[in-house]
Structure 1
Amino acid sequence: MIDTHLHLIDQSVLTYPWLSGSEALNRNFLYEKYATQAHRVGITHALHMEVDVAPAEIETETDYVASLARQSGNLIAGAISACRPEEPGFAAFLQRQQINPFVKGFRRVLHVMPDNLSEDPLFRENIKRLGGTGLTFDLCVLPRQIDKAIALVDLAQDVQFILDHCGVPDIKANGLEEWRGKITDIARRPNVTAKISGVVAYADAETWRLETLEPYVHHVVESFGWDRLVWGSDWPVCTLGGGLSTWVAATHALLSGCSDDEKARLFSGNARRIWKLR
């Protein structure tokens, strides 16, 4: 299994302004704790996903994660870096990242930002710069923002986009219908791959069952097909809905009846191809 969505939080090294508003996550979540759990459930590689550090520390975060990855036996195979495409310095930032093989792609968190951020002309121009670089761009958007994500995808058709967390459905509020049609629409774009990750955090932590997640995960699988799916833990956010082992077990149960080849593509094959992992 390749975990394409690992977050590490180390407040002794980096600053995370958003953590002050998230009591459950406002503590350190270090590699050693993750690795203990990951080895137990069969995870063999992980991509670190940026954790929205203070903007001045974006490249420091990448350097910190790379220092961990150099340790013998470490699971981390690369990083998805934070970025600020809305800023004039993005072009120079991109040039620096392109010469760093540890950086596999980028994410600008959008689900907590104004809905029109991705419509900014400079933002769009800079996302287009990713075309031909082999670097991906993760879309973390709410269902109401998927239309704007589609517009961005259509403007940059030679960029590989990754839709995080099944499009962030509001499972707790039974938001299936609002979300379903938008997933069908964005899945028509061949340059979008969906990430089966994070959904346990959007369900009621006390009451969700496998049947709660099933219509969401199955719709994403049916919409995108097995060649455009990857898997992620969203650790430690997944601890809000049961933790890493619970999410891994739920994923396996949700895929019961699928072929070994289909599961292999989701769990590792597609990630190896997209991010050129060994």
Structure 2
Amino acid sequence: MSLTSMIDTHLHLIDRSALSYPWLSGVDALNRDFPYEEYALQAHRAGITQALHMEVDVSPSDIESESDYIAGLAKREGSLITGAISSCRPEEHGFAAFLDRQRANPLVKGFRRVLHVVPDDLAESALFRENISRLGGTGYTFDLCVLPRQIDKAIALVDLAPNVQFILDHCGVPDIEGDGLDAWRGKISDIAGRPNVTAKISGVVAYADARTWRVETLEPYVHHVIDSFGWDRLVWGSDWPVCTLGGGLATWVAATHALLSGCSDGEKAKLFSENAKRIWNLG
């Protein structure tokens, strides 16, 4: 029996001695170091074979330092890290020069600007949209991290950059604890109609009630994303260490496998590894 390899497309590492994370002071449960060694032990036990590091909203002055830091970890013998999604500031005039500098770092596979922590109109500016369009044809992706109420704005951005591959993080951040299925479901169907968007099955355990959620709690959300996007436009991520707020890495991996019971080996392989390899050109 061969095991399906798992590529974690959403790993966060935190090292407060190396980088500055202003937002951590407001999240006590995550306000500590989460080093590679801690993640790697859990990941190997869970069957994860590769990982993409996802930017952790460091101070703007540390954005490129974060990529350098992750590159150092990736060079370690046996490292799981095979790529990185860098933070960026598309709303700034220096983005084009920033993008040129990233081409020298083969570890960088894409970019993210978390949009639910900034004013809604930031992504509507002409400069932001022009800079996102610069990613077309480069092979770089752009992660969309938005709340359900912002998905319409994300769709507008996607439609203006049809040659850019977008990744919708965390199933579109549904309010599972608040029973937000109806408010979220139609928006997911709408954005799934855009062929240049891939959905990431990640993060959802942090949006459920940590004390009471079960696999059945997550099922309508995860299955709607799968049904809407189809198996060729899905990737999987742990969202470690944020997933520790909802039970931890092993719990989320186990829940994912339970949610996929009845799916074929080929479908699981697309979600867990094949799509990620294709999108980010991973070996």
TM-score (norm 1): 1.00
Work out whether 1:3 is the aligned partner of 2:15: no
For residue 27 of structure 2, the aligned residue among 18, 22, 33 is 22
For residue 235 of structure 1, the aligned residue among 227, 233, 240 is 240
CA–CA distance in structure 2, aligned partners of residues 114 and 98 of structure 1: 29
Q: Measure how far apart 1:99 and its partner are.
A: 2.6
Amino acid in structure 2 at the alignment position of 1:259: S
Calculate the aligned-residue CA RMSD, in Å. 0.4
| Percentage of identical aligned residues | 80
Q: Deviations over 1:188-223 (max 9, x none)?
A: 000000000000000000000111000000000000
Alignment-derived partner of residue 186 in structure 2: 181
Q: How does 1:1-278 map to 2 (within 5 A)?
A: 1-278=6-283
CA–CA distance in structure 2, aligned partners of residues 242 and 117 of structure 1: 34
Q: Deviations over 1:76-102 (max 9, x none)?
A: 001000000000100000011123211
Kindly tell me the number of residue pairs found equivalent between the two proteins. Answer: 278
The answer (yes or no) to whether the contact 1:164–1:196 under 8 Å persists in 2 is yes
CA–CA distance in structure 2, aligned partners of residues 204 and 117 of structure 1: 31
Displaced runs of 4+ in structure 1, greater than 3 A? none
Q: Deviations over 1:40-90 (max 9, x none)?
A: 010000000000000000000000000011000000001000000000100
CA–CA distance in structure 1, aligned partners of residues 13 and 142 of structure 2: 19
The answer (yes or no) to whether the contact 1:226–1:265 under 8 Å persists in 2 is yes
Amino acid in structure 2 at the alignment position of 1:87: E
Q: 5+ residue gaps in structure 2?
A: 1-5
CA–CA distance in structure 2, aligned partners of residues 222 and 118 of structure 1: 28
CA–CA distance in structure 2, aligned partners of residues 215 and 139 of structure 1: 21
Q: 5+ residue gaps in structure 1?
A: none
The answer (yes or no) to whether the contact 1:98–1:133 under 8 Å persists in 2 is no
Alignment-derived partner of residue 3 in structure 2: none
Amino acid in structure 2 at the alignment position of 1:113: V
TM-score (norm 2): 0.98
CA–CA distance in structure 2, aligned partners of residues 40 and 101 of structure 1: 28
Query: What is the SS of the residue equivalent to 1:162?
Result: strand
Query: What is the SS of the residue equivalent to 2:93?
Result: coil
Query: What is the SS of the residue equivalent to 2:51?
Result: strand
CA–CA distance in structure 2, aligned partners of residues 232 and 32 of structure 1: 18
The answer (yes or no) to whether the contact 1:193–1:228 under 8 Å persists in 2 is yes
CA–CA distance in structure 2, aligned partners of residues 8 and 203 of structure 1: 23
Amino acid in structure 1 at the alignment position of 2:251: T
The answer (yes or no) to whether the contact 1:68–1:74 under 8 Å persists in 2 is yes
